[in-house]
Amino acid sequence: MFSPDGSKCAFRYRDNGIWYVNVGDEVFGGYDWVQTPRFSDDSESFGFIYKKDGLTYLNINGKIFGGYQHFAFRFVETHRVVMVYEHEGDIYIDEL
């Protein structure tokens, strides 16, 4: 996947059953599963959700949030991120 301005590339791949994400020249992983990474509209931020040891995490620009049972996120406006997650049976909505 390319950033909206075409300056960056991000992709996920699997090696020996372990998932990784490459964003630019930086590799993140190994994970049990990973969602296709996304870029913000201004191409400055990236994010992806991954699973490790039965829990779900969110990586935004290399900063980790989680582990929770479920996780979703969306870039809104320029650098804002809205995340929805389940923790101990309750649903939370937070903004970064």
Report the pLDDT value the prediction gives residue 77, as an integer from 0 to 100.
Answer: 74
Q: pLDDT per residue over 16-29, tens digit each?
A: 999 999 999 899 99
Instruction: Report CA dihedral (27, 31, 33, 38) to the nearest 10 degrees.
Output: -30
Q: How confident is the model at residue 39 (pLDDT cuts 50, 70, 90)?
A: very high
User: Would you list the domain boundaries of the chain?
Assistant: 10-95
Report the pLDDT value the prediction gives residue 79, as an integer from 0 to 100.
Answer: 73
**What is the pTM assigned to this prediction?**
0.90
Q: How confident is the model at residue 83 (pLDDT cuts 50, 70, 90)?
A: very high
95: nearest Cα among 40, 87, 79 = 79
